Each structure stands twice: as structure tokens, then as C-alpha cells.
Structure 1
Amino acid sequence: MRVSLFVVLQIRSDQDRDISIRYSITGVGADQPPNEVFSIDPVAGKMFVTKPLDREQRSSYHLRAHAVDMNGNQVENPIDLYIYVIDMNDNRPEFKNQVYNGSVDEGSKPGTYVMHVSAFDADDNTTANGMVRYRILSQTPHSPIPNMFTINSETGDIVTVAAGLDREKVSQYTIIVQATDMEGNLNFGLSNTATAIITVTDVNDNPPMLTSRTFSGEVPENRVDVVVANLTVIDADQPHSPNWNAIYRIISGDPSGHFTIRTDPVSNDGMVTVVKPVDFEMNRAFMLTVVVSNQAHLASGIQSSLQSTAGVTISVQDVNEPPYFPTNPKHIRFEEGVPAGTSLTTFSASDPDRLQMQQSIRYSKLNDPADWLSINRTNGQIVTTATLDRESIYVKNNVYEATFLATDNGKSLFL
């Protein structure tokens, strides 16, 4: 309350009819800081307010009034004066923040708590001057309806008032909140506004969906750690979150575990990878059935039967594999001294490429330290070309070692 030279009260001694009395006041607001807020007419005893009063700075004063005669002698005992400053509505509500941030899960039911805003009014909160009420002025965007939220007028708690929150359609709302004193009376109350930003948080309400019912790829036989097919999915949930991250599983078509599916952390694609070599002669193709799900469980009410499946055909590419000797190394026992031209044994190499049009296997000598042996190029027969000698420097522990080569289409194997 702001007044000037306002008569607060008047004091008067019963003896001032007989003698001249002088009046004075002491205390905070008189002769103590803040000084001279109050003054008194020393003759008439009228006390005045000489400076503007602010209840929010000081709500009451305690003074003492004195009465003395012309000689300064006390003619009355001092009396206590209590001055209470009456509140006026001169302060607007002030929000603690100009911007508030809150969040709520998409799909939340009506009545779900979202956030709290709070405003303070410096006026007396035991009177209407300091009693603040809240209301929502606007919501942006208006989707799916203009009033998705409501606010408790007394507490400032914001809650959902309607269903239909969908992060994939609206990820954030901006709410303008108004606080008004005088118990919300818009005609007499003072107001202020603040902004509430509500983020709609993601829940796993969109299962990943493979972009095709069928995928295909190919793999060379005997290769590992190569990507042979790429699976793509779409998922409307928050990218790079557990609700979006895809997990692929092979549920049929690979009983021996030749393949696994790794998830690309950037694209979310499924990379079908060979982890165990495949053999064209045993499997020309694989027909895999793949299912995809998320790292996080689906939200309540979303059917897990909505998991997406697809067929993946992996064709095996035939590779020309080298011939092999069924017995390797091969041990032959002969006495020394057998003459040149003696047949020792026949090597027969096998070719694993049963389904390829192969050239015939050719044999050759790769290593024969003493030059004692020869091999028939077409049938692999080993014949001596010199006399075998156990005492030769090329014989170690009664064993002479020679190496022969079987070749098919340029692929070789040593024996």
C-alpha cells in the first residue's frame, strides 16, 4: 500500500487538558532504520505515514509512543503501537522458469501425469491477491485435437486429457500456460505466462517389417565370413533406439548352422553371413526362413504375431576344388636292390568336383632327390628308374621320400 502523509492514528494523554504535553514515537520506522517512515505531531498526537509502504518488504511495525511535559518529564507510561501493512495486489505472478520441459509416453491414457509448472506471487497468499490459478492458453500443434492436455488450476500439474498421443505423428507439443492471481479472476487479477514443451517419448508400438517377402543371395563354396544377402526393414519407431534396433533370426532352412544374420548398426539391415563353409556337392542352395523383431519388447497391446518373416534363397556357387589323394602320405615297403623298371604302386587322386565337367587328372613328379622314380602322367603308376639303395645319403631312417603332384584345371594337391 502506498500513501503519503496519511493519518494512521492519534494518541492523547488524559492530562493534556491540565498541562502542555509533547508526544513522540520510537522504534523501527521512526528513529530506527528505516527512519522517518512514521512521524507524529508532537502537539496534536496525530501519527502520519510519510513514505510509501511496501508490504512485501516489511509487513508490520512495532513502535512505542511517549508523552512528556514541557520539562521532559514522563507523564504517561509508553504505549505499544502495532502497525500492520494491508496488502494490495501490486505484484504479478512470476513463473520460476520461462520454459518448462516435460515428457509423456506415446499412447498414454487420459489422466497421465506429464509435468508441473509453478508461479510465485509476492502478495499475501492468505488473500486473493496472492492466490494463483493456472490455465492453458494454447496448444501447438492441434493434432489430433486442440486440447490434448489439461492443467490443475491450483497445483499447476499438467496431465493428459485425451487419448491419441503418437510420436510418429507428433513428437512434441508447445503449451502456453497462464498464471493469474485474484484466484484466477481475469477481470481483476494480474497474469503472466510461461511455455511448457512436452516431448512425446517413443514406445515400441511399431514392429519392424521386412521390405520384401523374399530375398536372395549367393555364396561361393568353402568361403566364410562373407555377406551373401542383405535384408532390409522399415520401423517407424525412434531410430537407433532399442525400439528400432532390429534382431534377425533364422528359424528354418539351416539345420547345420552355416549362416548367421548380423545387424548393421547404422542402416538396421540384416547381413546374412557365412560362418561355416558350404559344399556345393552337398547343398546347391539353401532356403532360409527369417524372422525379425526389435531389441525391446513390443508395447503392451501390440500383438507379437505381427513379427515379419521372409524367405531367403542362398544359391551355392561351385568352385573348382583341387584333387586329393585318399591316402596321404602313402607308405610302400620294398627291399633295396630292386632293378630299374620295377612297379612300386599306383597313386589315384580323387576329384571332389563331381558335378563339373573336369579335364582328366594329370600326375607329375615334384620332388625325387635321388631321381629313382617316375610316374605315369595319366594313371599315376610309380616305376623305379634306378636301383634303390638303403645306404644312400637320400635315405633317412630307412625311408626315402618323394613328392608327386595331381593337377586338375590348374588346381593342385601335393603328396
Structure 2
Amino acid sequence: MPLDREKHSSFKLKAFALSTSGERLESPSTIEIVVLDQNDNRPEFTQEEFVGHVPEFSIPGTAVTNVLATDADDPATDNAALSYSIIHQESIPPFRINKTMFGINNETGTIYTRDVGLDIEVVKAFKLTLQVADMSGEGLSDVTSAVIHVSDINNNAPQFSSDHYTMLAKENRIKEEIGRVSSTDKDEPNTENWRTVYTIAQGDPNGHFGVRTDPATNDGIISVVKPLDYESQKEHQLILTVENESPLSDKAPQDTASSATVTVIVTNENEAPRFRKDPIRLEALESTAPGTTLAKDIAFDPDHAKLRYDVQYDPEGWLSIDPETGELRTQTVFNLRSAHVKNSIYYAVIKVTDTDLGGISTTATVELVLQETNDFAPELFPLSGTVCRNIAHAGLFLSAIDQDQAPYAEPFTFQLLSDTEGPLNWTVVQVNETHAVLQTLIEVESGLYFLPVLVSDAATPALSAASLVNVTVCNCDIAGECKAVAAAFLGTKVGLSFAALLVIIGSFMLLFLLLLLVVAVGNCRRHHLHKGALLGGGVR
């Protein structure tokens, strides 16, 4: 069997010296047989094709990639001494460059650049045919290929296709594309060195415009992001700049930044009239007289159109508006106690319409804050009652109601008027802000007393009202009711004002006079009948 060093590089044998009789004459000795290598193995690349990348414009000596081959022969001999070389170079696309662009370290297999001029815009890749040979390049060999891709760097700044663009934009529109700008870039398409970023560098201090990049076309899309106003500014001059997503390489030509001017012409639109405030918050006294002006100059039209005003919602009919001037006036007296007044606020809706073609309208809410006025005097109650003379410190509790609200209502002030002798024996003691007690100063006789009491509200000046209180003084039972039946007639719980009492007394007097008249007429008739009877008797 032939020896193969790659399978067994050596053999170890043990030898013995024996006598003729077979006896061991000495200790065994070890004999090593080394198989000498012969160059019977071809070197082999570890890959069928190697791939590398190198940035364009790399300087000579830039490492690109490493290739590797193996040889099964003895590495300590020249049979495994490998040497690498490039035996052919081909550009992709072909025939674009003829000079040798790459070299290889024959010992390490490192591929590197040998010359300048790598430009992806000219050549995108190179295909190299590689050889490795043992015996330091003189023995057996193997061949493979390596593809070296030229990678793009951002050495070309984008350039606007035109240095001036003109676009139209409608006023009062947003999120609306008004036009596009375009640019060119010589770098590798669809890379960050090619994709563009547009910026509005000047001409838009109020942020009316926005620009974004169309990822498919690399165009800049200009849109309105904040409403334009034709009346304020009819034209805008924007300065746009463009750059790539990645920073420009220092190998790029200097002063290659590009800019373009975009003229945006604003077109006029018929705008709706506008209220200067919405809601329109007004304040007025409840007692404001009809015809009082509450507000004026409440709206305007951006297009300076003639305006027409009208009231859309006014449930109480309190307001009127001049259709031409928009002057808002009161039409009737207000009433804080209206069901349409909530928390002292009355709500109405007015409308303004421009009279140009289309008649665009706008509405606004009127919040009319009504302020209380002292319209009503407080009313005393009860106007009649009983005071028990047989109960110590007895009295009649008095109170009052006022249709006004604070601060024109309570605290009430109660006062006993002393324009007659009766009240001299009585007094009014204030209990709290809304109540008082009418009681005697000394012991008085049982009977009916008419006491004038004045009640006033808290306003300055105060409104007051005087009422005649009918008080029945009597001895009371356990339930606090008068024992005398006669006192019940005039001591009823139904209150009588002074005027009502005069009416009642007048009615009694009139009834008495009528009774006297009836009696007189009756007597007169009887007198005439009697006289006639006497005359008749004489004739006979």
C-alpha cells in the first residue's frame, strides 16, 4: 500500500532483539518513520466567489477584502507555501476603465486599491480573476473570482431643475398642495445620498407654507399649512434650499449648494363675514330702557362687502338690531325672572350676511348678563294675626318677601310707624335678616288694633312699603286661639291692607245709607196711601 502523508505523517515501531530460542535479549527500542511530503495536493480557495465593497474615490492602498485558500500539503514545506495573484480585471459595465485598479498581497490575500479614479457614476463594480499557487507561486494552482462593488458616497449635491417657480394658492385653504419643485442628483438613486430634503429658508416668517419630499420622485411638494389672507398679503416670495439625507462628503466639489425662488400668488376668495367676538358678552341693568344701544361695530367683512344683520334667536323678543349698521339695541324691558334667563344670563343669536354673490353668513351668540335693579319694594306678611294677652312676651311674627335679588332684597328692616296713639304701646323687635316680632310694650286691653308697619329692603336708597297690620288681642286657650267668638270676625287670618280696610268701612257705610233710603221711601209711600184714603171717605 502506498504511503500518504496527508493520512499518516509518521509511523512508530517497537523493535526487539531475540535469541534463536526466542528470548528477549534487551529492552525494546522505538523507531519513528517520518513520511516525507511530496507536492501532490493542489491549493483550493475557500469560496467559489469572494465579494467586497469599496467606497468610490478611495485612495490607493485602501483594503477592500481578504481571500483565503488552503493546501493539504505539509505547511512546513514549499509544497504548502501559497502565493496569491490577480490574473484578470473586468469592469462592470465593461470597457469603462482599463487601468489596473486593484492589487493583492501575495502572502495574506488582502485585496487593496492600486490607483485613483473609482467613481460609481462611471463603474459600479469590478470582477477579478484570482489565482493561488503553492511552491510560492510556482507549483500547483487554483482559480476563483472576486466581485468588488464600488459603494456610493455623497459626493454630488442635489441641484434644482429650475431656479424659479410660480404657483397659485387660494386664500383660507389649508392642507392643499399648490405645486412641486424638482431636483437632480448624480449619486446612486434611492439611497440616502440621493434622497432629498427641502427647506423653506426665507420668505415665510409666519409659517404659512410647508414642504415635503415625494419619496417616489424626489420632488418637493409645497402646500399651505396655515390659511393665507389675500387682503393682508397678495404675494409671497419663498427661498427654498435642498440637501441630501446624508451629509455631503468632503470629496464633493465646493460651493455646490442649490436654491430656488418660489413665487406664490394668493387668489382672492369670497370670505364669510366675521364677528369681532364670539360669544358677544354684554352687561345691562334689568331696568335698561327700551331703545338703549348695547353694542355696535360688532362684525366686519374681510372682502369689504356690504353687510346685513338680523336676529336669529331671541325667545323673549328683548333685542333688535339695525340691519345695516349692526347696532344692537334693547327692544323691551328685561325681566330677570324670565324662564330664558339662566344664572342671570340671557342668550340670543344674531346673524351677519355679506350681500355679495353667494351671501355667506356667520352667526354669533349674544350672552347678555343682566344686573339686578331695585324694582320692587318688599311686601309684609302676615297682615293680620292674634296676640295672646294672657301669655308673657307673646307677639306676632312678621316677615317679608321681595321679588328682587341680592343686594336689593334682604336684610329687611322692620319699623312701627308712630303717627297714631295706638303704636305707642307696641314695638317691633328685629329677629334676623328676614323676620321680626310685633309685640306690646305694656299690657293692653283685649280688642282689635290697626298698626302701621314699614318694611324696607337693603338697597341704598332703600325701597319701603307700609302696611296696616290687623292685630287681635285676646285671652287665648291652650291652642293659642282667642276664647271670645266676637274676636274671630275681625281677627281672621286673612290680611287687610289699609286701603282694603277703608273699602270695607266705606261699603258698610254705603249699605247703611241704602237701608236708610229704603226706610224713607217706605214711609213716604205709606203716608201717601193714608192721605188718599182720607180724601176718599170725604167724597162719599
TM over 0.5: yes
AA at the equivalent of 2:159: M
The match for 1:369 is 315
Map 1:9-408; keep pairs closer than 5 Å.
51-74=1-24, 78-141=28-91, 142-185=95-138, 189-326=139-276, 329=280, 331=282, 333=284, 336=287, 342=291, 344=293, 347-348=296-297, 349-354=299-304, 358=305, 360-380=306-326, 387-390=332-335, 393=338, 396=341, 400-408=346-354
In 2 relative to 1, CA 59–325 (structure 1 residues): closer, same or farther, beyond 3 Å?
A: closer
The match for 2:361 is 412
Q: Distance in 1 between matches of 2:344 and 2:329?
A: 19
- The SS at the match of 2:123 is coil
Q: Distance in 2 between matches of 1:204 and 1:219?
A: 35
The structure with the largest alpha-carbon Rg is 2
AA at the equivalent of 1:229: G
In 2 relative to 1, CA 154–319 (structure 1 residues): closer, same or farther, beyond 3 Å?
A: same
Cα displacement string for residues 104-162 of structure 1 (whole angstroms, at most 9, x for unaligned residues): 11110111111111111111233222111111122222532252111111211111111
The runs of 5 or more residues in structure 1 that have no matched partner are 1-50
Structure 2 length as normaliser, TM-score? 0.60
Deviation at 1:301, TM superposition (A): 2.8
- Aligned-residue sequence identity (percent) comes to 39
Q: Distance in 1 between matches of 2:352 and 2:303?
A: 14
AA at the equivalent of 1:172: A
Q: Distance in 2 between matches of 1:233 and 1:401?
A: 58
Deviation at 1:195, TM superposition (A): 1.9
The match for 2:532 is none
Cα displacement string for residues 219-258 of structure 1 (whole angstroms, at most 9, x for unaligned residues): 2223333333322222232334332232222222122232
Query: Conserved in 2, the CA contact under 8 Å of 1:370 and 1:394?
Result: no
Deviation at 1:80, TM superposition (A): 4.3
Structure showing greater relative contact order (alpha-carbon pairs closer than 8 Å, 6 or more residues apart): 1
Q: Distance in 2 between matches of 1:327 and 1:249?
A: 37
Cα RMSD after superposing both structures: 2.8
Query: Conserved in 2, the CA contact under 8 Å of 1:144 and 1:164?
Result: no
Q: Distance in 2 between matches of 1:263 and 1:152?
A: 46
Higher normalized helix content (fraction of residues): 2
Query: Conserved in 2, the CA contact under 8 Å of 1:93 and 1:120?
Result: yes
In 2 relative to 1, CA 370–181 (structure 1 residues): closer, same or farther, beyond 3 Å?
A: same
Q: Distance in 1 between matches of 2:52 and 2:121?
A: 18
Deviation at 1:77, TM superposition (A): 6.2
Deviation at 1:403, TM superposition (A): 2.8
Cα displacement string for residues 183-236 of structure 1 (whole angstroms, at most 9, x for unaligned residues): 111xxx211112212121121111112222122323222333333332222223
Q: Distance in 2 between matches of 1:311 and 1:352?
A: 29
Query: Conserved in 2, the CA contact under 8 Å of 1:325 and 1:347?
Result: no
In 2 relative to 1, CA 281–61 (structure 1 residues): closer, same or farther, beyond 3 Å?
A: same
Query: Conserved in 1, the CA contact under 8 Å of 2:315 and 2:340?
Result: no
- The SS at the match of 1:68 is coil
Cα displacement string for residues 241-296 of structure 1 (whole angstroms, at most 9, x for unaligned residues): 33223222222212223223223344332222333332211111111111111222
Q: Distance in 2 between matches of 1:236 and 1:389?
A: 78
The match for 2:460 is none
Q: Distance in 2 between matches of 1:55 and 1:389?
A: 122
- The SS at the match of 2:300 is coil
Q: Distance in 1 between matches of 2:27 and 2:292?
A: 149
Query: Conserved in 1, the CA contact under 8 Å of 2:271 and 2:303?
Result: yes
Query: Conserved in 2, the CA contact under 8 Å of 1:366 and 1:405?
Result: yes
- The SS at the match of 2:142 is strand
In 2 relative to 1, CA 345–76 (structure 1 residues): closer, same or farther, beyond 3 Å?
A: closer
The match for 1:46 is none
